[in-house]
Structure 1
Amino acid sequence: MVWMAWILTYAIRYSLLPEPQPVIWFGPEVILVLAVQAVVFWWTGLYKGLWRFASLPDLWNIVRAGISGALLIAITLFLYNRLATVPRAVLLIYPAALVVLLGAPRLAYRFWKDSRLDLFQTSPSQRVLVIGAGRAGEALVRDLKRENRYRVVGFVDDNPQLRGAKLHGIPVLGMLDKLPEIASEVAAGMLLIAMPSSTNALMRKVVELCESTGLPFRTVPRLDDVVSGRSQFNELKEVAIEDLLGRDPVTLDWTAIRSGLTGKRVLVTGGGGSIGSELCRQVARLGASSLTILELSEFNLYKIEQELRANWPDLLLDMRIGNAGDAATCERLFADVRPQVVFHAAAYKHVPLLQGQLREAVRNNALATRTVADAADRHGVECMVLISTDKAVNPTSVMGASKRLAEIYCQNLASRSRTRFITVRFGNVLDSAGSVVPLFRDQIRAGGPVTVTHPEITRYFMTIPEACQLILQAEVLGEGGEIFALDMGEPIRIRDLAEQMIRLTGKVPGRDIQIIYTGLRPGEKLFEELFHPLENYRSTSHAKIFLAQPRSMGWEMLTAQFGRATQAVHDFDEEALRRCISSLLPDFAWRETDEPTVVAFARNK
């Protein structure tokens, strides 16, 4: 093509002369042109381009190679013969001719490859309507054209400037509100949502419109899922409840977070649980020098170890089976590992189950926290983060009360220790073990009914990665003794959650899957709170993170009551435990339903 462009340019130039001159088809001058242009092609990487995927960047590369080649050819021929035999117009026309000769075959080949399968296609393509005419929608259409399983018949987008425009020859047909009418007019068989950066409120609106059409719909994954490796770009998947109820992404100061963890020795208690395991992944990703995991469940410890060793083979891992409430275990662990940062995620969290298990709730949630905190204080840990819950605010359950005791101890110990003790509160975590989302999913898969405790019960929701990122941010923000909580937006009605999950499976609530209301369980609230009125919460340097002021308590009384609680746990004296809790939490109201949960086992005949 270089030879053809050079000779063709000469022929055009000589044809304009009054007396046409013969074109020299080959000679030293042509050899120099070929050599110089070959070097330029190698420098620009043109030889490595794949014609099958030729696009605008490849065309720009050809233009760059043509212009650069013409300049170097001019310099080379000037040094060779002072451009005695080269008309100046040739050097101007040659790059344009070369761009055409190199670009046209590539684009023609790609067009042929993209369209040739249509000639041999035996089954008709499914007509699809793409929601979102942005970059994601454009990239999705390009991929779909290669597969030929789908035929994109149009776009729907709320941008008024795109109305009537075309992407890859496919028109933008209208606004989102007109989706049902447009889908019917174009006889679409499927809807594809290409809005990976949309807000959750917008996503809920889009899904409602898709459901009103009665057509199946899919979505491309969110950008966070692509970056984290949980999904592939332009992978079509069903809309998950996390896409609708997870909150909008929170921007974090990753530079500060890395400075607080990179090169540090980190200990995570309860590292095999939903929150603990995600914390381990985040810590490994941020470059901790070593990671120690204390976990009571052998299987959970095995699972997270296999994952971490596969994904971060260079990370120094220390896996320990043990109970965080065992003082001897903690003492040996802290002495061996000498952690600099501790994340205490080990806890019981199931509200109704713990309502009748007062001793175990206090032992594992409150006294074990004291054991870990005391060990952190003795061994000079830089920072300890307690993973708490919104149920510790004005607690009405045994679980909430036990977590509130843990908060009180860490807050008051912070003023007497060099270790920074920080508490992080958040609401329900989507898809965590024992949460309502997997329960509803199993009930829907079994054909129902879906059980909701109360038609008006509401909860805050956040995703597991977001919860863990908040914990990491709080570890950097905290100076000691604080309680941090995230601005979690508006609470979600559990009834709406159940109905949405049913609809996402293509079924109709109340017709295909029944929803029954079982009544509030022992210790359960209709709504949750993130702060106590006396905590005087205020904003921090992060727009989405709030700070609660600690409520101080006499250290002697606190340690005395924890000592009595320890003895009561040893003696299995739940009445004494009640007195200890009432002394430390005078507003906590005991209920008549706070009785042990009776579990009956039936022997197989």
Structure 2
Amino acid sequence: MEITSRLTALFLLIALLPLLMIIALVSLIIQGLPIIFIQPRVGKNFKKFNIYKFRTIKNKGGDTIISHSGDLLQVSKWGKFLRKTKLDELPQLLNVIKGDMRFIGPRPEIPKYVNRKTFSFLKKIKPGLSGYSSIIFRNESDILSMIESDDPYQEILNIKLALDNYYVTKKSFSQDFKLVVLTIFSLFTPKRMGHYLFIKLLKIESNEESNLNKIVDNIRMKMAKYKEVDKNNGRNRRVIILLDMIIIFSSLVLSSFVGSNFTTPILFYRPDLNYLFVIILGIKLSANYICNLYQGMWRYTSITDIFQILKASFLSTFIILIFFLTSNLFKGLSLELIFIDLTLSILFTSSTRLSIRLIYSHLLNPSPYRINFRKRVILIGAGKTGEFICRELLNNPKHLMYPIGFLDDNHNLKGKFIHSRKVFGKISNLTDYHENYDEALICCPNAQRKELFNIFETCKDSGKPFRILPSPKDILSGSLNLDGLKEVSILDLIGKNEVSLDEEIINEYIHGKRILIAGAGGTIGSELVRQCLKYEPALLVLIDKHENSLMKLEREVLSQETNVLLKPILSNIRDFDILSKIYSNYEPQIVFHAASYKYVSIQEAFPWEALETNINGTSNLVKLSSQHNVEKFILISTDKAERPINIMSATKRLAEVICQGANYSPITRFMAVRFGNLIDSKSSFISVLKEQIDSGGPVTITDPEMERHFMSSKEAAQLILQSGAFGNGGEIFSLDMGSPIKILDIANELIKLSGMQPGTDIPVSFIGTRAGESIPGETKLLNNPQSKTGHKKISVVHPNLSDVKIKEIANRIIDGALIPHEYDRNILRSILTSLVPEYEPLKKDEVEPLILKASPKAQA
């Protein structure tokens, strides 16, 4: 029997040699060398052998997928085709010829999944090219998505083992022949049919496998839903095609009568009239199909659908004209008839679809006047956003909101109508319509902070609820919907807009890459994770020393539908040995360093902590990134590094110097990105203000003149990714934060937003600056020269520090110049002053530590 298998494999290999050569040639052109993929597998008697396949995995580029074993596979489109058709497995005929495998048998597993107890059947039989497991799990990723389990592959592995054991016990010639037929059949069935096949094949005598039966029932239930959906879609599509056939026939007949002045058309005397109608019908239906007229829903017919109808009509007419001019096929037709038919076809096809939309939107939808629980809303802003919201509310009563009209400060719009809803007048007149509406919807995503605050004040004065729409980017992208309506927040007051990005160049350096983010649990670190996920990296290694933040972030990422492999690691960047193991295990290609201490007053009290993390921790990451040939290293810095006046800003400036000093690496490109305060930081002063307001005050502010630059974490993370795409090594990027905002103004606006008055309901007190802090005018900025980049909100700063000086400082740090020195602040400050030329401490007086040395009594 084995000799027969080997001879058959040899015959097939020779017969398929032309096909194998074509596949090899195409693979060489598209993917390069090597053509053959070799991987160890476990065979009979647990002997290891190398299995052969056509290589489908690319080193970079392509679509990144995760195999059942957790390996990262970057598969090209050619590779996906080979996998889908199983042509990639043809070289396994060599394994059969060598005697490693047989045609039918258990599917060979990789060594790390095999143990002698559960794979005991390998003592009796060789693994096979095909079998129950190969056929059933042909579309393994789809089946994995249907299994509700913490470890879905373990469930699949259990099923594979059950099937392989079943095959071994029932092994016979008829069984093998059945599996050969089913293997060939499975190659020509669509994906979904594979699941029906799965259910069919599992009707085997293994009722003792309750876990297997449970999964079969789950898949059967899910597939029943799919089958019902397919059935409904197919029925609807048949009705649409039938209506189009009637329209095509009616249009052709009517155009024939119009073209012959309503006498009997010459065309009707043709003996092959039925044949001609069938050809025209086929051409027009095919054009409709090509232009996707059978994919949409008539109840939602829009201008885009009308445009598709025009395309289909002109396409079919163009084809008919070609036949008319080049053959006798359409003898009896005239150009006049063809163009009349074109006009009538467009008219009939469009009118039927628009009629269905009108029926659904005006007749079948309940009238708002008959629904007493439908909320009346007034729309503030009569621009594109307001128009969209009005149209959405009128077309979809499920929102249970009915627009009564608009308010807008553009005097040219007053008295005009939008979707039959009047623009009443100015926004300040909102209170005049107090009795006419239940809620106000603010549709002004581009409004400035002051303008927006005035709108909020007007809405509050009316005493009715009000909500605001999301950003303009959602409107432009077409993703805007009423689910985006939200309560007004401090972010709306500050008025930060979405940024435009060059998505293509960001995708080039993020997609399919192994990304390491240090400080991933922090505000900017976690937002970098969210932004990176959009570009589908192959792997995200998340390092943070806070287990709660890391756990929360992991749950958030895993709740999303993504193929990105996630590796959260609880560690500290101060530990070089642990970091070294992380780099060795995961070999990151891109590193974002967002781990640092940032609270000014605390770092003034404990400067050695800032040195250990901000400097030595950065040095650890920089060293390892150079050693492991990381492609790009992006340091998250601060705008305060421009003019260091405290420990925090001085250590961050020194971290920048470390990165610049390491930029001599031939492969790794180091860069830094500066920006200011994050308005939505987990422990920002905004959250402190909210707590103080909720508790009745007082609201504490350092100084009436204190001001800060603000940016949302989302905006900052997006611009960091963009900066990383621009960076060629050695740059210090600076993000445009806009104009500074006074803390007192934000506090007052936040108090008013809470429905109270500052100073009256909530007292405001000024407590003075803390150690390391300054107010405007106390310090003079260096105003380092800047150059533009390809983005208006990103520039490159050029500090007045020579390359020689940078390397000298970086080498001193590497040589251990910054040792805690028994936690002596003065020594550490003097060392920092010598290392950072720009550093001029604002306050040199002794700072009282927060934790004092324990007394003898306490020690006892």
TM-score range, shorter chain: 0.7 to 0.9
Cα distance in 2 for residues equivalent to 1:291 and 1:87 = 64
Residue aligning to 1:181:
429
Q: Tell me which structure has the larger Cα radius of gyration.
A: 2
Post-superposition CA distance 1:544-591 (Å, at most 9, x none) = 22222232437556644775654325x334443233223334522444
Post-superposition CA distance 1:316-367 (Å, at most 9, x none) = 4333221111121223333333333222111111223333222212211122
Please report the TM-score for the alignment, with normalisation by the length of structure 1.
Answer: 0.81
Q: Which has the higher contact order (CA 8 A, sep 6+)?
A: 1
8 Å CA contact 2:541, 2:569 repeated in 1:
yes
Cα distance in 2 for residues equivalent to 1:420 and 1:256 = 16
Q: 2:415 aligns with which of 164, 168, 174?
A: 164
Q: 1:588 aligns with which of 841, 845, 854?
A: 841
Cα distance in 2 for residues equivalent to 1:495 and 1:185 = 34
In structure 1, give the amino acid aligned to 2:726. Answer: L
Q: 2:617 aligns with which of 344, 348, 368?
A: 368
8 Å CA contact 2:414, 2:423 repeated in 1:
yes
8 Å CA contact 1:246, 1:463 repeated in 2:
no
Residue aligning to 1:603:
none
Structure 1 pair 444/61, CA: closer, same or farther in 2 (3 Å)? same
Cα distance in 1 for residues equivalent to 2:339 and 2:604 = 90
Q: 2:382 aligns with which of 133, 147, 150?
A: 133
Shift of 1:445: 3.8
Structure 1 pair 328/429, CA: closer, same or farther in 2 (3 Å)? same
Cα distance in 1 for residues equivalent to 2:833 and 2:594 = 25
8 Å CA contact 2:660, 2:730 repeated in 1:
yes
Residue aligning to 1:520:
769
**What does residue range 464-483 of structure 1 map to in structure 2 within 5 Å?**
464-483=713-732
Shift of 1:91: 4.9
Residue aligning to 2:538:
289
Structure 1 pair 30/89, CA: closer, same or farther in 2 (3 Å)? farther
Shift of 1:465: 1.8
Structure 1 pair 357/501, CA: closer, same or farther in 2 (3 Å)? same
Cα distance in 2 for residues equivalent to 1:208 and 1:285 = 37
Cα distance in 1 for residues equivalent to 2:499 and 2:339 = 58
Range 250-259 or range 553-562, more displaced: 553-562
Structure 1 pair 535/341, CA: closer, same or farther in 2 (3 Å)? same
Q: Tell me how many residue pairs correspond in the alignment.
A: 588
Cα distance in 1 for residues equivalent to 2:806 and 2:350 = 84
Structure 1 pair 229/493, CA: closer, same or farther in 2 (3 Å)? farther
Residue aligning to 2:850:
597
Cα distance in 1 for residues equivalent to 2:563 and 2:357 = 45
Residue aligning to 2:736:
487
Structure 1 pair 519/220, CA: closer, same or farther in 2 (3 Å)? same
Q: 2:484 aligns with which of 235, 243, 246?
A: 235
Structure 1 pair 597/6, CA: closer, same or farther in 2 (3 Å)? same
Q: 1:567 aligns with which of 819, 841, 850?
A: 819
Post-superposition CA distance 1:466-517 (Å, at most 9, x none) = 2122222322333433321112110011112122223334444344444333
Instruction: Give the SS at the match of 2:625.
Output: helix
Q: 2:352 aligns with which of 99, 102, 106?
A: 102
Shift of 1:209: 4.8
Shift of 1:168: 1.0
In structure 2, give the amino acid aligned to 1:320. Answer: I
Post-superposition CA distance 1:31-59 (Å, at most 9, x none) = 98699669846636556554543444455
Post-superposition CA distance 1:4-40 (Å, at most 9, x none) = 95699599979997x999xx9xx99799869966984
Range 297-306 or range 49-58, more displaced: 49-58
Structure 1 pair 154/537, CA: closer, same or farther in 2 (3 Å)? same
8 Å CA contact 1:565, 1:577 repeated in 2:
no
In structure 1, give the amino acid aligned to 2:682. Answer: A
Q: 1:349 aligns with which of 598, 603, 617?
A: 598
8 Å CA contact 2:637, 2:672 repeated in 1:
yes
Cα distance in 2 for residues equivalent to 1:232 and 1:351 = 42
* 2:824 counterpart of 1:576: no
Cα distance in 1 for residues equivalent to 2:380 and 2:274 = 54
Cα distance in 2 for residues equivalent to 1:528 and 1:373 = 36
Cα distance in 2 for residues equivalent to 1:581 and 1:526 = 23
Cα distance in 2 for residues equivalent to 1:34 and 1:530 = 85
Q: 2:520 aligns with which of 263, 271, 277?
A: 271
Cα distance in 2 for residues equivalent to 1:423 and 1:539 = 16
Cα distance in 1 for residues equivalent to 2:404 and 2:481 = 24
In structure 2, give the amino acid aligned to 1:496. Answer: D
Post-superposition CA distance 1:515-554 (Å, at most 9, x none) = 3333222222224999951633343443322222232437
8 Å CA contact 2:389, 2:482 repeated in 1:
no
Structure 1 pair 319/65, CA: closer, same or farther in 2 (3 Å)? closer
Structure 1 pair 304/103, CA: closer, same or farther in 2 (3 Å)? closer
Q: 2:368 aligns with which of 92, 98, 118?
A: 118
Shift of 1:218: 1.2
* Runs of 5+ consecutive residues of structure 2 not aligned to the other structure: 1-242, 853-860
Cα distance in 1 for residues equivalent to 2:477 and 2:848 = 44
8 Å CA contact 1:196, 1:221 repeated in 2:
yes
Cα distance in 2 for residues equivalent to 1:235 and 1:266 = 31
Shift of 1:99: 5.1
Shift of 1:424: 1.2
Residue aligning to 2:236:
none
Cα distance in 2 for residues equivalent to 1:89 and 1:226 = 39
Structure 1 pair 565/106, CA: closer, same or farther in 2 (3 Å)? same
Cα distance in 2 for residues equivalent to 1:35 and 1:321 = 69
Instruction: Give the SS at the match of 1:218.
Output: strand
Instruction: Give the SS at the match of 1:414.
Output: coil
* 2:332 counterpart of 1:82: yes
Cα distance in 2 for residues equivalent to 1:108 and 1:230 = 24
Q: 2:564 aligns with which of 315, 338, 360?
A: 315
In structure 2, give the amino acid aligned to 1:112. Answer: H
Structure 1 pair 110/469, CA: closer, same or farther in 2 (3 Å)? same
**What does residue range 441-460 of structure 1 map to in structure 2 within 5 Å?**
441-460=690-709
**What does residue range 136-155 of structure 1 map to in structure 2 within 5 Å?**
136-145=385-394, 146-147=396-397, 149-155=400-406
Shift of 1:225: 5.7
8 Å CA contact 2:299, 2:353 repeated in 1:
no
Instruction: Give the SS at the match of 1:142.
Output: helix
Cα distance in 1 for residues equivalent to 2:728 and 2:516 = 19
Cα distance in 2 for residues equivalent to 1:48 and 1:293 = 42
Instruction: Give the SS at the match of 1:272.
Output: coil
* Runs of 5+ consecutive residues of structure 1 not aligned to the other structure: 600-605
Structure 1 pair 530/254, CA: closer, same or farther in 2 (3 Å)? farther
Identity %: 33
Cα distance in 2 for residues equivalent to 1:132 and 1:192 = 9
8 Å CA contact 2:638, 2:652 repeated in 1:
yes
Cα distance in 1 for residues equivalent to 2:412 and 2:796 = 43
Post-superposition CA distance 1:159-194 (Å, at most 9, x none) = 5654433211112233xxx31225515744432122
Range 46-55 or range 453-462, more displaced: 46-55
Structure 1 pair 410/517, CA: closer, same or farther in 2 (3 Å)? same
Please report the TM-score for the alignment, with normalisation by the length of structure 2.
Answer: 0.59
In structure 2, give the amino acid aligned to 1:568. Answer: P
Cα distance in 1 for residues equivalent to 2:833 and 2:485 = 54
8 Å CA contact 2:445, 2:470 repeated in 1:
yes
Structure 1 pair 172/559, CA: closer, same or farther in 2 (3 Å)? same
Q: 2:300 aligns with which of 53, 60, 79?
A: 53
